Amino acid sequence: MVRQPSQTNSYVTLATQAFSALLGGVLVFFVSMLIWTLGYQLVNAGHIFPGVSVAGVDLSGMSPAQAAVTLNSRLSFPYTGQILLRDGEKLWVASPAELGMVFDATASAQAAYAIGRTGGLFGAFADQLDARRSGLQADAVVVLDQNVTYTYLQRLAAEIDQPPIEAMLEIQGTDVVAQPGQVGRYLNVDSTLIALNNQLKTFRDGEVNLFIDETQPELLDVSSQADAARRILSAPLTLILPGANQQDPGPWNFDVQTVANMIVVQKISQDNGTQLEVTLDPTTLDDILQDIAAQVDRSAENARFIFNDETRQLDLLRPAVTGRRVDLDASKVVIHDQILAGAHQIPVQVISDEPEITDYATAADLGITELVRAETSYFYGSSAERIQNISAAASAFHGVLIAPGETFSMASMLGDISLENGYAEALIIYGGRTIKGVGGGVCQVSTTLFRTAFFAGFPINERHSHAYRVYYYEQSASGARDPQLVGLDATVYVPVVDFKFTNDTPYWLLMETYTDAAGRNLTWKFYSTSDNRAIDWTTTGPINTVEAPKPLLVENEELGKNEVRQVDWAAQGADVSITRTVYRDGGVLFNDVFNTHYEPWQAVCEYGPGTEDAEKQMKKAGICQ
């Protein structure tokens, strides 16, 4: 029996036969390609393969030497070519040779000769085939003489380069002068050189865009700031007080030139770079606002009342005053913002301060139910000017309220003692002499207040005695000296010397002052609610007395012959010690002691030039005896 071959064996046999055939074909192809390549090179030994050119010049079949000669004769591009150099709208045209181009014909011929002979078997075969079928271009070897190229580009840079210029904004008089900035531009020679080299290698005319580096100035455009400055100077500036009435100060007007002098142009740094800011000089603006504040600012003042002894209620004497002060910082911000927005009438910013006691306060609200103390001092022999000063000073305290627990300062309430505020020139103690000065007699008021606070039993925080004993402060109702009053005087010299006491009760204290010019006396009243306070006091009276020195006679050129006058009066020196015990509900509340030392005081009399026997003249006049 004969066995048939299997179908699988048939497939294997067929695959083997096919592979053998393929392998054989490949071998035949490689052998054929090798024979072609070697043969082709042998045929063209020493010559450039057909189809190879440089810069459009066909070098087929030429030796490298022949090709170099041909290229030198045929290629005039370095001298006849044109390279266009561009910077935006500006153009420059140069020949390659002017740009430093040097054509290496020998190296270019060698590059053409190498085509079809490098790149291995497959590369050489492919180049040979491509050159024969469609032609191949070998790179022209171009060398740049960088000294020439740099020299040419530096000439261009001299035309192109420009430094950055900062924008400018100035105020000249009342004119705004602005000039835009300029972007800095510099020719990047190195980058341009690379682009130029690449273009020259093509051996064709062409355009090269110059590489420009730009440098931005900090400030390029200030037109918006210039517009802002012009808006500021388009009209005078007026500052107003909001809600002003006829009695209030303002408005405050500043002409355009003044505003121009105030404008400040300054650089500021922001997230997006440096900017210009146009504003008003903060120092000048602060000075202006300080001046305005001096006119506008006022402290809140409680309403003033007098106690009606019949109704036992408070009668309104002077309405309360709302305090106010210029908010300097807020005003500067508002002025800055509004003037930049074009406003020329701008309100200053004011903070209000409401008084603690309004016009509607009642006696019950404040705990004022009765007269708790009244004291009267006398000033017989006072001049009209001294009486005027006593009345002016005393009126400053009429109807004033002192809060529970408050320490009252007489100097702070008295304010400025000046002719403008109703005071006159009268005798004052200054520099060891009694001289004429504004406000003489004010110490009559401070002495009266001291005695009222003393006998009312309030703590005395600050008290200063006079340098010497003054007759006015020792007068009784009859006009005679009262030794019990020695040491119960107090002087105030604003702002150095003050008198202070504390209302240490739970009730408000109302003060009333009454000057009787005809009767030559001043009465000070305290209204409140009694807390059953009483005092006990003792005085040593004047002790350690020292007689006054002999009178001093002084010539005064302002006086006439035999004219004399007394300008200071003698007073004994002495020491006084006063002890006070304050009780409440029978128990001791506190004790205090007031020690006073008075210097002996010399009488002083003056006489005119040429006076005969000045002592005799003074004796006749009854002075300085």
Report pLDDT digits (tens) over 231-255.
999 999 999 999 888 889 999 999 9
DSSP notation for 113-175: HHTTSSSHHHHHHHHHHHHHHT-EEEPP-EEE-HHHHHHHHHHHHHHH-B--B--EEEEETTE
Residues 333 and 435 in one domain: no
Residues 571 and 439 in one domain: no
Report pLDDT digits (tens) over 87-127.
999 999 999 999 888 888 898 889 889 888 887 777 788 88
* Residue 103 CB neighbours (<10 A): 23
Is residue 125 a part of any domain in this protein? no
Q: Is the pLDDT of residue 16 over 80?
A: no
User: What average pLDDT does the segment 300-328 reach?
Assistant: 96
User: What average pLDDT does the segment 472-478 reach?
Assistant: 92
Q: What Rg do the C-alpha atoms of the chain give, in angstroms? A: 56
Report pLDDT digits (tens) over 349-395.
999 999 999 999 999 999 999 999 999 999 998 888 889 889 999 99
Average per-residue pLDDT for the chain: 88
Residues 459 and 569 in one domain: no
Contact 427, 440 (CB under 8 A): yes
Q: What is the dihedral of CA 316, 318, 320, 326, to 10 degrees?
A: 180
Tell me the C-alpha distance between 620 and 617, whole Å: 5
* Domain end call among 353, 385, 408: 353
User: What is the predicted pLDDT for the residue at 1?
Assistant: 45
User: What is the predicted pLDDT for the residue at 454?
Assistant: 98
What CATH number is attached to the domain comprising 600?
2.20.230
Q: Is the pLDDT of residue 551 over 70?
A: yes
Is residue 574 a part of any domain in this protein? yes
Listed residue (142, 140, 56, 144) closest to 98, CA to CA: 144
Tell me the C-alpha distance between 429 and 546, whole Å: 20
Residues 451 and 490 in one domain: yes
Q: Write out the residue range of the structural domain in which residue 595 sits.
A: 532-625
Listed residue (617, 537, 543, 618) closest to 576, CA to CA: 543
Q: Is the pLDDT of residue 324 over 80?
A: yes
Give 180: exposed, middle or buried? Use CB within 10 Å, 0-12, 13-18, 19+.
Answer: middle
Residues 240 and 343 in one domain: yes
User: What average pLDDT does the segment 511-533 reach?
Assistant: 96
Residues 518 and 570 in one domain: no
Contacts of 505 (CB under 8 A, 6+ apart): 404, 528, 529, 531, 533
Contacts of 350 (CB under 8 A, 6+ apart): 241, 242, 296, 324, 325, 326, 327
Q: Which residue has the tokens 């770079």?
A: 273
User: What is the predicted pLDDT for the residue at 50?
Assistant: 92
Q: Is the pLDDT of residue 2 over 50?
A: no
User: What average pLDDT does the segment 455-473 reach?
Assistant: 93
Tokens of 378: 């006398």
Tell me the C-alpha distance between 572 and 486, whole Å: 12
Listed residue (432, 429, 431, 520) closest to 470, CA to CA: 429
Tell me the three-class secondary structure of 438-453, residue by residue: ECCCHHHHHHHHHHHH
Tell me the C-alpha distance between 44 and 60, whole Å: 10
Report pLDDT digits (tens) over 268-306.
887 777 888 888 899 999 999 999 999 999 999 999 999
Tokens of 123: 């590369």
Is residue 556 a part of any domain in this protein? yes
DSSP notation for 480-497: SB-GGGTT-----BTTTB
Q: Is the pLDDT of residue 41 over 80?
A: no
Residues 384 and 525 in one domain: yes
User: What average pLDDT does the segment 415-429 reach?
Assistant: 65
User: What is the predicted pLDDT for the residue at 126?
Assistant: 85
* Residue 120, phi then psi, degrees to nearest 5: 80, 180
What CATH number is attached to the domain comprising 230?
3.10.20.800
Residues 559 and 513 in one domain: no
Listed residue (354, 500, 491) closest to 413, CA to CA: 500
Element (H, E) at 515: strand 509-516
Listed residue (300, 350, 290) closest to 326, CA to CA: 350
State whether residue 310 is helix, strand or coil.
coil
Q: Is 75 or 524 the better-scoring residue by pLDDT?
A: 524
Residues 319 and 382 in one domain: no
Is residue 276 a part of any domain in this protein? yes
Residues 482 and 393 in one domain: yes
Listed residue (604, 599, 600) closest to 551, CA to CA: 604
Is residue 209 a part of any domain in this protein? no
Contact 414, 492 (CB under 8 A): yes
User: What is the predicted pLDDT for the residue at 121?
Assistant: 76
Residues 311 and 458 in one domain: no
Q: Is the pLDDT of residue 256 over 90?
A: yes
Number of separate domains in the chain: 3
Q: Is the pLDDT of residue 432 over 70?
A: no
573-584 vs 587-598, strand pairing mode: antiparallel
- The answer to whether the peptide bond before residue 251 is cis (omega within 30 degrees of 0) is yes
User: What average pLDDT does the segment 419-436 reach?
Assistant: 59
Tell me the C-alpha distance between 419 and 412, whole Å: 18
Is residue 218 a part of any domain in this protein? no
Is residue 47 a part of any domain in this protein? no
User: What is the predicted pLDDT for the residue at 464?
Assistant: 96
State whether residue 56 is helix, strand or coil.
coil
Contacts 24+ apart (CB under 8 A), 55-60: 55/108, 55/137, 55/140, 55/203, 56/137, 56/203, 58/135, 59/109, 59/112, 59/138
Q: Which residue has the tokens 């009333």?
A: 512
* Residue 25, phi then psi, degrees to nearest 5: -65, -40
Q: What is the DSSP letter of 473?
A: G
* Domain end call among 353, 379, 407: 353
Tokens of 222: 């200030």
User: What is the predicted pLDDT for the residue at 415?
Assistant: 78
User: What is the predicted pLDDT for the residue at 446?
Assistant: 96
Is residue 313 a part of any domain in this protein? yes
Q: What is the DSSP letter of 9?
A: H
User: What average pLDDT does the segment 415-434 reach?
Assistant: 62
Contacts of 435 (CB under 8 A, 6+ apart): 427, 428, 567
User: What is the predicted pLDDT for the residue at 314?
Assistant: 97
- Cα angle value 70/72/78 (rounded, 5°): 140
* Domain end call among 468, 496, 530: 530
Listed residue (566, 550, 551) closest to 607, CA to CA: 566
Residues 248 and 310 in one domain: yes
